Structure 1
């Protein structure tokens, strides 16, 4: 019998790498990659309202939703060896614009069946100064 209590928590670099894969999917318009990184019961809490995995992936229906992004002020809270909360600032450019926008994001990552997957995300837009 495997000792599940003996699992170690992931590092900030490991989780940040996964989060960047979500952002890369947004830039590349890769709905399949996005879907693979989100749990079937994914919940997004956005200024537009609640979203499930199909809603999140559906944003790729026409084209990529981001042109460029930069992540900063990154923090990882380890809730257990199998659940972590990644919080950070995202500065980004949408396609067809030259105006950078910013938001604070918190993403909950869970280890399910030995795979890290995103189950929750909340975006809080920052006021432009």
Structure 2
């Protein structure tokens, strides 16, 4: 990985962690700041808008803990890039960890990155 790609990967991992940290802390504002107004999420239970994503935090945190691994980044040209990774996490009130693969597309606006798209794929045991 080139130094430029490594810098981009580190930047987007930090951005992605702001979303996960908001899920852990219940920070609606932090979640909203990371997401683009036109955000689209594709999940096992359907599609989600920015309002849907932030709305899940109306009663507080939804995740107890998380870990991001196997991070990969790919520039999509211009001011867009995709970050893909494996997430291991535990939902609030549950004892069993879940695992999924995530791809998030981020767009750079001026000095900051915003999440415009995210798709989760549940991991299966083989």
Deviation at 1:128, TM superposition (A): 4.7
RMSD: 1.5
In structure 1, the partner of 2:19 is: 22
Give TM-score, length-normalised by structure 1: 0.89
Unaligned 5+ segments in structure 2 are: none
Instruction: Provide the C-alpha distance between the structure 1 equivalents of 2:113 and 2:49, rounded to a whole number of angstroms.
Output: 18
In structure 2, the partner of 1:108 is: 105
In structure 2, the partner of 1:77 is: 74
Structure with larger Rg: 1
Q: Secondary structure at the match of 2:95?
A: coil
Unaligned 5+ segments in structure 1 are: 1-7
Instruction: Provide the C-alpha distance between the structure 2 equivalents of 1:11 and 1:114, rounded to a whole number of angstroms.
Output: 13
Which residue of the other structure, out of 55, 63, 75, is the alignment partner of 1:66? 63
Instruction: Provide the C-alpha distance between the structure 2 equivalents of 1:65 and 1:81, rounded to a whole number of angstroms.
Output: 34
In structure 2, the partner of 1:99 is: 96
